[in-house]
Amino acid sequence: MDPTNERGSALVPALTVAVFGLAVVFLRPPLPIDETRYLEVFRESLDGSALLLRLLGEPYAEKPPLLFWLARALATLGAPAEFALRCLPALTSALVVCFAARVGRRLGLASVAWLQAALLMPALASQFLIFDALLAACVWGAVDAWSARRDGRAWFWSSAALLAKGPVAFLFLVPYFWCTSELRGVERARRAAARILLLALLPLAAWALGAAYLGGPEFADALLWKRWAGRVLSSPDHARPRWFYAPVVLFGSLPASFVLLRRDAGQRPDWNRRLGFTVLGLLLVFTLISGKQAHYLVPLAPALALLAAAALERDPHALVWLRHGVRALLGILLAGLAVGAWILPGEVGGVSTRGSAWIESGAWKPLFAAAALVVAGALVLVGRARGPRSLCALTLGALGACMLVVHPAAGKLLYPHDLAAALRRAPEQPLAFLGSSQHGLYELLAGRGGLEKLRDREALEAWCLAHPEGLVVSEVEELHDSIPATLELVTRDVVHRSPLLVLRAARAATGAR
């Protein structure tokens, strides 16, 4: 197969990734705490400065602005605000498939797009509101432009990568440029790469300095040091054991894991050896970094797809190992559905009130059974698939079937529907909360800021006297098992396994209940 004649080969897998990711937006509401936090940051940015992000009215230094800027542009074009932000991981994941396929064509590989679409790690990243799918798109857009000798475009995408996730983008850009430099066919590639990457710092620096000026000295210190270098050197957030990324890569690169792990005695081209060393080097670097999250490795997935495609197209016997990988992934999906069906009845007390009712009704059982039948059917068909594309298509079909079950279930179980309904019914009433702010969840559900934080039970009772019929959201443990007489119960719910009460300030006190 001549990859130069397969320019449309990336379209179907890219569209599949986009459709699956966009379907999630309609299948479930945003999940606390991360997705709702980013949505609240975006909501506040729409009401304020695009340059200085805020959460609960305070400057927000945790993330760079590109994801929010793109969502702001979509909202300006008429997209609903929530959809504008949540659709971006799906769209950018589809872009990654296209960029990886273009790089693969230049290397003589035809199956990169399907492998990238089917890898478990990027497939999951396209379905959640995280920043790493955008980073992967920008990084591989830069690699695509660099390998095609489009230095202006390479600068644009490199700048975007830095604005997407900060200086961590250099960990991917520098070695990937090195791996693909032979495709440029020109001398002094190092100087060109250094010029592109140094100039790419300018947009990030301009934003950071402007935001630091607007946010004040304390925010400037957090933005310019603590959230980047400080987190790399020593961070209590997301502490994980040193071996954390080994299973992430092993399972995240399914169904290609066995192809990547097999011993390859054949002659490999220079780019292939370089890319192999780069993958191992990146894993070592991320292992040494203090904070660890599985999704940090999403920009690594196209490199794995390139390596797997090269192995498959160089040695026809490698297809056997891809088949084993598909079987392993489908088996894991079946086991996951079985384990979920086993533990779900015991989770009644740790999920939302509507989720508890859904579990007790048993309505989830036919959904899980239907998904299991689809996955089992795909498992039977694995032996009949004749090439990487058909094997990857089977994988995507099974992942889609599980997605149709898992995401609606997650929305019922984890999203606080009753809490949201209670806050939305009170658009003009005073609002306050006792305990955790849940990272802006209450403001997001109410659709407005200005919720007053109450320090303790005494402050709660004073607030109730000053705000008749105002609403208070309180963690149950903050009330010490009794509701003050100045409050009446509106509804109950659970967020992140924390039981919550929505209370209304009464007009008269009658004693504790």
User: pLDDT tens across 24-70, in order?
Assistant: 999 999 999 899 999 999 999 998 888 999 998 889 988 999 999 99
Which neighbouring-strand residues pair with 493?
Answer: 500
User: CA 208 to CA 65: how far, in whole Å?
Assistant: 10
pLDDT at position 107: 94
User: CA 253 to CA 352: how far, in whole Å?
Assistant: 33
Sign of CA dihedral 143, 144, 146, 151: negative
Location of structure tokens 């092993």: 250
pLDDT of 301 above 90: yes
User: CA 189 to CA 197: how far, in whole Å?
Assistant: 12
Which neighbouring-strand residues pair with 454?
Answer: 434
Which neighbouring-strand residues pair with 499?
Answer: 494
pLDDT at position 228: 62
Residue pair 59/215 in contact (Cβ under 8 Å)? The answer is yes
pLDDT at position 509: 44
Among 208-212, 239-243, 309-313, the least confident range: 239-243
Q: Locate 276 and state its tokens.
A: 């192999």
Q: Locate 223 and state its tokens.
A: 């933005």
Determine the distance from the C-alpha atom of residue 411 to the mean position of all C-alpha atoms in its chain, rounded to a whole number. 16
| 169 band by pLDDT with thresholds 50, 70 and 90 | very high
Q: Exposed/middle/buried for 132, CB within 10 Å: 0-12, 13-18, 19+?
A: buried
Residue pair 178/273 in contact (Cβ under 8 Å)? The answer is no
Q: What is the DSSP string of 36-105?
A: HHHHHHHHHHHTS-SSS-EETTEE--SS-SHHHHHHHHHHHTT--HHHHHHTHHHHHHHHHHHHHHHHHH
Among 3-17, 367-381, 449-463, the least confident range: 3-17
pLDDT of 235 above 70: no
Q: Locate 228 and state its tokens.
A: 């980047």
Residue pair 252/120 in contact (Cβ under 8 Å)? The answer is yes
Give, as one character, the DSSP assignment of residue 291.
B
pLDDT of 510 above 60: no
User: CA 210 to CA 52: how far, in whole Å?
Assistant: 8
Average pLDDT (325-338) is: 96
User: CA 234 to CA 289: how far, in whole Å?
Assistant: 8
pLDDT at position 231: 56
| 410 band by pLDDT with thresholds 50, 70 and 90 | very high
Q: Which residues of 240-268 are buried (b: 16+ CB within 10 A; e: fewer)?
A: eeeeebeebbeebbbbbbbbbebebeeeb
Residue pair 392/322 in contact (Cβ under 8 Å)? The answer is no
pLDDT at position 230: 52
Q: Residues 6 or more apart from 136 whose CB is under 8 A from it? A: 92, 93, 96, 122, 125, 298, 299, 301, 302
pLDDT digits (tens, 9 = 90+) for 178-194: 999 888 876 678 899 99
Helices (H), ranges, 181-216? 189-215
Average pLDDT (107-117) is: 95
Which amino acid would we find at residue 267? Q
